[in-house]
Amino acid sequence: MARYHVCEEDDVPIGKVKAYKAGGRTVAIFHLDDGFYSTQNDCSHLFAPLHKGTIIDGSQIECPYHQTRFDIRTGAVMCWADHPLLDWIRAKKALKTYPVTVEAGQVFVEL
Ligand code: FES
């Protein structure tokens, strides 16, 4: 695992998500009430950019394409897209999550 600097703490206000490049991937950095979290940025359904989604109930991200919802802290699927044909193509799959640390106002992610 390697550690990457992604942004400053103030770059992502509480209740928001932004995407950053780290280690050749794009990760989503979420700032929730209790701190920062990171997941893969591409939706595990059909790869939509999750940073363009909506944070629901302060702890879930809803994908902008087919409204699959994931727990931001664990990556678990809370509500899978309701498209029977697409379900046949893409089975339910959790998001990868990555440890985030904040030091002196700088945000780091481990991949
Ligand atoms: S691409 Fe995210 S729900 Fe389909």
- Using one digit for the tens of pLDDT, what is the confidence trace for 63-81? 999 999 999 999 999 999 8
- Please work out whether the CB of residue 77 comes within 6 Å of at least one atom of ligand 1: no
Q: Look up residue 86 and give its amino acid.
A: L
| Region of 16 on the Ramachandran plot (φ > 0 left; ψ -120 to 50 alpha; else beta) | beta
pLDDT band, very low/low/confident/very high, at 90 (cuts 50, 70, 90): confident
Domains of the chain: 3-110 (2.102.10.10)
As beta bridge partners, residue 35 has: 32
- Give the per-residue pLDDT at 88: 75
pLDDT band, very low/low/confident/very high, at 96 (cuts 50, 70, 90): very high
Q: Taking the CA of residue 71 as centre, how many other CA atoms within 13 Å lie in the half-sphere pointing to its CB?
A: 7
pLDDT higher than threshold 80 for residue 109: yes
- Please work out whether the CB of residue 97 comes within 6 Å of at least one atom of ligand 1: no
φ and ψ at 45, to 5 degrees? -80, -75
C-alpha of residue 53 to centroid of ligand 1, in Å: 10
C-alpha of residue 22 to centroid of ligand 1, in Å: 22
- Using one digit for the tens of pLDDT, what is the confidence trace for 41-60? 999 999 999 999 999 999 99
- Please work out whether the CB of residue 83 comes within 6 Å of at least one atom of ligand 1: no
Instruction: Answer yes or no: pTM beyond 0.75.
Output: yes
- Give the per-residue pLDDT at 48: 97
Is the distance from CB of 6 to CB of 111 less than 8 angstroms?
no
- Please work out whether the CB of residue 51 comes within 6 Å of at least one atom of ligand 1: no
Owner of token pair 């379900």: 87
pLDDT higher than threshold 80 for residue 12: yes
List helix spans (H) across the chain. 84-89
